[in-house]
């Protein structure tokens, strides 16, 4: 049907026309094996964001290395793919910073290097702009074609967004979708959150140009920090096209940042927990009890004013705790 319409009118140069049945049939031919459990699959564009220091790059390199090696994936997320050619476009760190992160430390007394650098897979290719050259989004296609990559990680997308405005983001995401379709490549984009306040739940509102980027991406998830433990992290699934978001506030995987063999920082899975419990302030048990009290009273139908009077708190304090607990104010 598509060929008949195109031959008759030439409209096929602008639009891609198929019957609904053909779209569904052809979709089955596109590989959709998971790369990161329910968060990211083959031939998808996924976005991971978080505040500064959340561990986005650590997790992205960890994932890239695992995909380059093949295997069972990053726990607790499943991956059913064998070794893949992965290109990590590093637009955040210099070569010296990358080398330092994945090299063993020196003995403080002898100044001797204690061990060997981490043994990355040869399937993982790190790329950075040469001699302060300014990359353009169009150069990404050239990079993919030259390397034969099946997975592309861009760290971070801010490099291409000079003004961080929706129109700029729309042009960039359109180019990335074109590259994804042309090469059949899986893309992971890393971004910084827009807000700096730590004691609050992560939402799509924290993603720069969220309306444009979330609409163009197949999946969006965030990495958050634990306020009571400096190396505690969690991952929250915020948007998915065609699948349920299973790692929501009530059921998020909790990790700790560790250094494997002294030269490979990674997020190690501990268990599943509740986001509100992770980001509760360091006031300790008293604060957690206050959070539970506010949540319980609200679920009983009390107004914010009534809760504030009952617990001798300000209405803004009640509203803030309801937001942390993911309860509608």
pLDDT tens digit sequence for 91-137: 999 999 999 899 887 766 777 777 788 999 999 999 999 877 788 99
Q: Could you identify the residue written with the tokens 């009640």?
A: 318
- Residue 216: pLDDT band (50, 70, 90) is very high
Q: Could you identify the residue written with the tokens 């074109």?
A: 178
Q: Cα–Cα–Cα angle for 309, 311, 312, nearest 5°?
A: 60
d(CA 5, CA 1): 6
d(CA 167, CA 8): 35
Share of the chain above pLDDT 90, in %: 50
Which pLDDT belongs to residue 156? 92
Residues 316 and 305 sit within 8 Å (Cβ to Cβ) = no
Residue 3: is its pLDDT beyond 50?
Answer: no
Q: Which residues contact 62 (CB under 8 A, 6 or more apart)?
A: 74, 264, 265, 266, 267
The pLDDT tens digits of the residues spanning 285-320 come to: 546 666 777 888 888 888 888 887 777 677 888 888
d(CA 170, CA 178): 12
- Residue 29: pLDDT band (50, 70, 90) is low
- Residue 283: pLDDT band (50, 70, 90) is very low
Which pLDDT belongs to residue 171? 95
Q: Which residues contact 116 (CB under 8 A, 6 or more apart)?
A: 104, 263
Main-chain dihedrals φ then ψ at residue 232, nearest 5 degrees:
-85, 135
The pLDDT tens digits of the residues spanning 136-195 come to: 999 999 999 999 999 999 999 999 998 889 999 999 999 999 999 999 999 999 999 986
Mean pLDDT of 73-92: 91
Domain 30-275: homologous superfamily in CATH: P-loop containing nucleotide triphosphate hydrolases (3.40.50.300)
Q: Could you identify the residue written with the tokens 């790369």?
A: 35
Which pLDDT belongs to residue 67? 95
How many residues are present in the chain? 329
Residue 254: is its pLDDT beyond 70?
Answer: yes
Residue 265: is its pLDDT beyond 90?
Answer: yes
Q: Which of 213, 263, 271, 270 is nearest to 238 (CA)?
A: 213
Residue 37: is its pLDDT beyond 70?
Answer: yes
């Amino acid at each position: 049907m598509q060929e008949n319409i195109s031959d008759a009118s030439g409209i096929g140069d602008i639009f891609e026309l198929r019957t609904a049945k053909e779209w569904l049939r052809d979709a089955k031919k596109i590989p959709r094996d998971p790369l990161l459990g329910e968060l990211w699959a083959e031939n998808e564009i996924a976005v991971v964001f978080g505040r500064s220091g959340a561990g986005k790059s650590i997790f992205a390199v960890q994932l890239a290395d695992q995909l380059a090696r093949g295997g069972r994936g990053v726990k607790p997320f499943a991956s059913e793919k064998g070794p893949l050619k992965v290109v990590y476009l590093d637009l955040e760190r210099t070569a010296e910073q990358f080398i330092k992160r994945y090299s063993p430390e020196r003995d403080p007394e002898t100044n001797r290097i204690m061990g060997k650098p981490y043994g990355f897979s040869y399937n993982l290719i790190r790329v950075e702009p040469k001699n302060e050259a300014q990359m353009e989004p169009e150069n990404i296609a050239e990079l993919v074609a030259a390397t034969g990559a099946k997975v592309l990680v861009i760290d971070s997308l801010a490099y291409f967004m000079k003004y961080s405005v929706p129109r700029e983001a729309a042009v960039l995401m359109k180019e990335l979708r074109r590259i994804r379709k042309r090469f059949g490549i899986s893309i992971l984009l890393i971004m910084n959150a827009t807000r700096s306040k730590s004691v609050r739940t992560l939402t799509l509102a924290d993603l720069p140009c969220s309306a444009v980027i979330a609409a163009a991406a197949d999946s969006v998830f965030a990495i958050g920090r634990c306020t009571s433990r400096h190396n505690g992290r969690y991952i929250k699934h915020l948007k998915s096209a065609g699948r349920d978001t299973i790692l929501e506030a009530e059921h998020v995987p909790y990790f700790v940042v560790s250094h494997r063999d002294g030269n490979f920082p990674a997020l190690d899975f501990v268990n599943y927990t509740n986001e509100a419990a992770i980001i509760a302030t360091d006031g300790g048990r008293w604060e957690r009890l206050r959070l539970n009290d506010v949540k319980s009273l609200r679920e009983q139908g009390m107004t914010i004013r009534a809760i504030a009077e009952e617990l001798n708190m300000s209405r803004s304090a009640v509203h803030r705790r309801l937001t942390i607990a993911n309860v509608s104010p």
